[in-house]
Structure 1
Amino acid sequence: MKKILFFLFFSSILLILTSCNNTNSKKTIQLAEVTRSIFYAPQYVALEKGFFEDEGLDVELQTTWGGDKTMTSLLSDGADIALVGAETSIYVYAQDSKDIAINFAQLTQTDGTFLVAKEEKPDFDWNDLKGTTFLGQRKGGMPQMVGEYVLKQNEIDPHEDLDLQQNIEFANIPSAFVSSDAEYVQLFEPTASMFEKEGKGHIVASFGEESGTVPYTVYMAKQTYMDEHKAELEKFTKAVYRAQQWVSEHSAEEIAKTIQPYFEDTDVAMLTSSIERYKNQGSFATDPVLKEDAWNNLKNIMEAAGELPEDVAYEDLVNPTFAKDVLQD
């Protein structure tokens, strides 16, 4: 009897110690996302499906609402990794920062905004924008730069041919469009689809389809963090890749049901519609490798918008090693 009790006691102690060791071995990563968006569906899949946990990572997500705030959080050690537009790394580099931000994994590969008109436009033509009031995005941000790029590709000067308004905070743009006299606005999903459903606007074009492949939102970390946490970054990238493949292989409805906890105010049907729209135009990257041609397209878009501070080489701000390694596993 004593032997049995001793065995049970010893087994309990061993179980507790093993549990403690597993908890202590898990690495915590502070992740800052630039906004909460269906556009980032693979990230929420990775979190909900436990892909990060499978890699021994405890990823703590925070939404920092804006590129400038996200980069401030990253550079001040408020976050270890940032999910934000790749253009922000160029801005930091151009300021001669002592600790630059390096892009290491791509999540989305097209623009994620749509042109929404207040009135129905069954025969929409880009020339319809001339002489109208267009509610744009923040100056210097990817949505606005892509918007201007697409307009110029369609022979429209955004600063001469229309009344371009860029003085409204990102979070307030949808409500400002409804209450103002603006005829057009640039919106992300699910807001664009919600506006259609509620009769507040009508989707007439996709900026993602018009602008081509671009590293729209990527994961980046400071150079010092990258040097000191290579193992964690490789595990993080592996989990992201696994989620990207899962999103590629599953239906929009399955994805919607998985990520619904992150969008409690949006029903599954609306999420499904938005995800389907993004899947159809290839917005979700199917692997995390940020390619050089996409980087060059980003710089072309920035230059066209007059926002490229300097021509930064791919090798200076992109480290594709982690992404390429996980493809070999």
Structure 2
Amino acid sequence: MSKRAYGTLLLAFMLAATAALAGCGGGDSDKKLIRIGEVTRSLFYAPQYVAIEKGFFEEEGLKIELTTTPGGDKTMTALLSNVIDVALVGSETSIYVYQQGADDPVINFAQLTQTDGTFLVAREKIDNFDWNSLKGSVFLGQRVGGMPQMAGEFAMKKNGIDPHHDLELIQNVDFANIPAAFSSGTGDYVQLFEPTASIFEKEGRGHVVASFGTESGHLPYTVFMTKESFIKKNKKDVQAFTNAVYKAQNWVAAHSADEIADVVLPYFENVDRDILVSSIDRYKQQGSFATDPIVDEAEWNNLIDVITSAGELDKRPEHGVLVNTEFAKEAIAAVKQ
């Protein structure tokens, strides 16, 4: 989401509390309710679903309501308007809110993914892909100002490709419609998340030729965040939440893609199990799932470099302004592996 869009955030969208409710963790009525808004439903967020399904939130005295709030703008609006308590979204959204001069800044407190989660998919099979193949092509990209697009452009520039001059870049297709647009013939290349990338390969509609996650390096790509005021009033609950996330991260690191697929299957009922396994394995192999909740300074600075390269940053926020590592560090010290 572009920083410009946040100026009209609260007027643009008011989320109904009942919309797209999914994946509630069980638990007794005496458990603290935490409402999570995830920016999309994705295998990229497998550790979150593991935390719910394996009962890690319940162990920490929490009951979870999980709502899918499609898009960074809608997710952040839901958070700022108190429809949800915690947002699972890209860290760039907290930066855009900060740049608007928010009195109650959004704080990143527990990292879930540490790389970009998209893959470069070509319409035709390419045995020995070279980034120069993108020159003169039609590229079906992601939304301006969103992390997928910014990380994609960062990776292209790293490989000597100017995404705004060396190819025809299409960015006027809504996120949810990008796969269908590519299937219908738009573009020579497209940027896709899993499991869509694997589904396209299986059905012969496209072929994965590169990973934007590998190319753009470690960064706080998807993070649990909340308002500073919520943290001040609910420190115990934020700590419990972070503990549960870390338990799930340990579990994911210790188990196979096959075992993880069995746990997250209820969240992807319309996806073949073999696709779930291959998608999760692809993310595990490239180290996309964070192994602990800490948003460290090196990752943050890489994120800032990516956003700066995309021309979406007015001023460079320091790590300590929008990141709180206190809960992550305490979780690492308290949770037995």
CA contact (8 A) 2:139 2:168 kept: yes
1:227 corresponds to 2:240: no
1:309 corresponds to 2:310: no
Counterpart position of 2:298: 293
Distance 2:41 2:135 in 1: 32
Distance 1:128 1:277 in 2: 23
SS at 2:78 equivalent: helix
Measure how far apart 1:237 and its partner are: 0.3
Distance 1:302 1:178 in 2: 29
Counterpart position of 1:126: 131
TM-score (norm 1): 0.93
Measure how far apart 1:24 and its partner are: 4.3
SS at 2:110 equivalent: strand
Distance 2:212 2:333 in 1: 33
Measure how far apart 1:269 and its partner are: 1.0
CA contact (8 A) 2:39 2:69 kept: yes
* Higher normalized helix content (fraction of residues): 1
Partner deviation per Cα, 1:96-142 (whole Å, 9 max, x = no partner): 01111000000000000000000111121000000010000010000
Q: Equivalent residues in 2 for 1:52-67 (5 A)?
A: 52-67=57-72
Counterpart position of 2:211: 206
Counterpart position of 2:11: none
Of 138, 149, 156, the residue aligned with 1:144 is: 149
Instruction: Choose 1 or 2 for highest CA Rg.
Output: 1
Number of positions where the alignment pairs a residue of Structure 1 with one of Structure 2: 308
Counterpart position of 2:326: 321
Counterpart position of 1:69: 74
Measure how far apart 1:227 and its partner are: 0.5
Structure 2: tracts of 5 or more residues without a match = 1-26
Counterpart position of 1:171: 176
Counterpart position of 1:4: none
Percent identity over the alignment is: 62
1:237 corresponds to 2:242: yes
Partner deviation per Cα, 1:213-237 (whole Å, 9 max, x = no partner): 0000000000110100000000000
Structure 1: tracts of 5 or more residues without a match = 1-21
* Cα root mean square deviation, aligned: 0.8
Distance 1:310 1:227 in 2: 26
Counterpart position of 1:15: none
1:180 corresponds to 2:148: no
Partner deviation per Cα, 1:239-258 (whole Å, 9 max, x = no partner): 00000000000010000010
Counterpart position of 2:270: 265
Measure how far apart 1:268 and its partner are: 1.4
Counterpart position of 2:194: 189
Counterpart position of 1:10: none
CA contact (8 A) 2:39 2:70 kept: yes
Distance 1:149 1:195 in 2: 24
Counterpart position of 1:87: 92
Measure how far apart 1:209 and its partner are: 0.7
Distance 1:173 1:206 in 2: 18
Distance 1:236 1:292 in 2: 22
SS at 1:25 equivalent: coil
CA contact (8 A) 2:140 2:186 kept: no
Distance 1:100 1:144 in 2: 24
1:275 corresponds to 2:280: yes
Partner deviation per Cα, 1:260-316 (whole Å, 9 max, x = no partner): 000000121110000000000000001101100000000000011111121101010
The amino acid that maps onto 2:187 is: A
The amino acid that maps onto 2:311 is: G
CA contact (8 A) 2:139 2:169 kept: yes
Measure how far apart 1:181 and its partner are: 3.5
Distance 1:107 1:310 in 2: 25
CA contact (8 A) 2:32 2:62 kept: yes
CA contact (8 A) 1:91 1:309 kept: no
SS at 1:36 equivalent: coil
Distance 2:232 2:171 in 1: 38
Measure how far apart 1:180 and its partner are: 2.7
The amino acid that maps onto 1:95 is: Q
Runs of 4+ with >6 A deviation: none
Distance 2:296 2:97 in 1: 20
Distance 1:23 1:324 in 2: 28
SS at 1:295 equivalent: helix
SS at 1:289 equivalent: coil
1:112 corresponds to 2:126: no
